[in-house]
Amino acid sequence: MARKQNVIIIGAGLFGSIAAARCRLLGHNVTVVADQRPAMASLASGCVIAPSWLSSLSAPDIATAMGVLSAMYKVHDITFTTNVLGRPFKAQRVDLKSVLVQPDVIGKVISASAGVVKLEDGRTLRGKTLVSTGYWAEELVSEMPKVRGLWGASVSFKTSGQTPKLNVYAPYRQAVMFQSEKNRAWMGDGSALVTKTWDKESIQRMSATVERGRAMLSDPRATAITTAGVRPYVEGYKRGYFQQIDSSTWVSTGGAKNGTVLAALQAAYFTEALR
């Protein structure tokens, strides 16, 4: 059992939330601080765990990450019917709402170093610190590789009884849909765009995605809510980027399209580092 520590987690996306939950499970005293900026990636996530996304991880890393997830959340098996593969596609997922934690402190952090976290409004927090601020990690940690942000969006349709579907609609392009809540189906098509392209093409691209979803639902008038977010990519770090910065500060990001599993893996690294 790890020694009980005061822990500050900056960011309340998948990375911050899973790390916070695991730290709490292990008895640490945790404060989550976040400013909940609109483009945070996690609000758009389907929390799907696709077998192909695990290929960059070793068997022990997969076991660690899945162990962390299943100790704290319900991991659902999900079987998609497909329009081309000729056989069902099997994956797993967790419920986003069961994972995301509410920040204990809402505010923008301007610096985090040597166990001292300073907020824009003048508040100061102290403790072992995890910077899990997604695409924006570099703003607080200058000594790290560049974080590239790729925009994506998912669509939530008001509907019930939707069976999981995976539709290939162009070479290497596929849309997935499943019932995420009682009256909601989540749909993602993997779009990933750099910011300047996102500005120009996003509206056109998203209306095509919404129409594709309505076709999958066979409901041309289904009400849709689109959520956009910036996925964090750290070049050369397919397992995500986890690094100790100083005696009391760690950084954890780089979830890319595989945020659920990588957040769980890095939560395990962080709690191990607190020992």
Ligand X SMILES: Cc1cc2nc3c(=O)[nH]c(=O)nc-3n(C[C@H](O)[C@H](O)[C@H](O)COP(=O)(O)OP(=O)(O)OC[C@H]3O[C@@H](n4cnc5c(N)ncnc54)[C@H](O)[C@@H]3O)c2cc1C
- Site residues for ligand X per CB under 6 A: 10-16, 34-37, 40-42, 44-48, 108-109, 132-136, 139-140, 152-154, 188, 229, 231-232, 253, 255-260
Tell the residue number behind the tokens 């068997």, with chain if given: 59
Work out how close the CB of 120 gets to ligand X at its nearest, in angstroms, rounded to a whole number: 8
Partners of 181 in the β-ladder: 184
Q: Which is nearer to ligand X, 248 or 259 (CB)?
A: 259
Work out how close the CB of 231 gets to ligand X at its nearest, in angstroms, rounded to a whole number: 5
What are φ and ψ of residue 260, in 5° steps?
Answer: -65, -50
Work out how close the CB of 193 gets to ligand X at its nearest, in angstroms, rounded to a whole number: 10
Beta-strand relationship, 6-10 and 29-34: parallel
For 2, 54, 63, 68, 236, the CA distances from 71, given in Å and listed in that order, are: 17, 19, 12, 5, 30
- 212-222 burial, b at 16+ Cβ within 10 Å, e below that, comes to bbbebbeeeeb
> What whole-number distance in Å separates Cα of residue 132 and Cα of residue 59?
25
- Angle between helix axes 259-273 and 59-72 (nearest 10 degrees) is 90
Taking residue 77's Cβ as centre, other Cβ atoms within 10 Å add up to 8
Work out how close the CB of 3 gets to ligand X at its nearest, in angstroms, rounded to a whole number: 26
